[in-house]
Structure 1
């Protein structure tokens, strides 16, 4: 396989995209986030994702691709902050001696985000059955009665959910 000319080398292409579009991307992110620091971080993360991705071929519309990647990173940031906020609210009433360390809180929040992603990847009925069993503590027959489905359907969806849990772990 012949070597690519230097101007077509993937790293050279990304370097050119970076030089041509980094400040634009950072401004685009700053408008959405209202925060220069987060915008700078996500702009860098966007280019890291681009560099790590398989999209190393010449990009026809670099700004569209950068917006697509950055939009996903913004959603991830907002989701993480919402999970952090909810978690911090849930531990706010604890006595100081029982409040987890910063490192432990970080690990817990990461775990909560993985659980959230796993649940979001489940079909709606599977998610409902799993939530009713795990969070509401309902038995299989009560879930079947409540949802108007058969007991075997409840069991099938719980199996799917448990497999998703194992795969996410």
Structure 2
């Protein structure tokens, strides 16, 4: 049971940090109702902590509770967004997901062939940009070529890969 000193300390903490936690939740959740729900839950969980009044940094603890509650809320929303009808269709027709996977693998194989058909320097530039996501400057430095040459190789690589893919489909 909480003593009178702990109760007044918790009331002081609530008074001091209520506004900050509310604003933090409203900004991140963009819903006043959700923010109010989580604000109340934050302080309930804080109060349930046996030594809530003795915590050195109650502000940090409150923000941690609020952040964790928001994460839990987001996870719950993602789970509830799953379309049960789609899940049932996939369970009833497992072949369709296998077929999609096979088609994706086949498309990836054709893409790899397209990249492999590029001239060597063009292929290096294309791979560094599209797969390693290096900037034009980083590619130019790594291959000891100008940025303009990198741009020309990328344009050529994109055009040839597109033509290759169009031909194979």
User: TM-score if structure 1 supplies the norm length?
Assistant: 0.46
Q: Looking at CA atoms only, which structure, 1 or 2, has the larger radius of gyration?
A: 2
Would you tell me which structure has more helix in proportion to its own residues?
A: 2
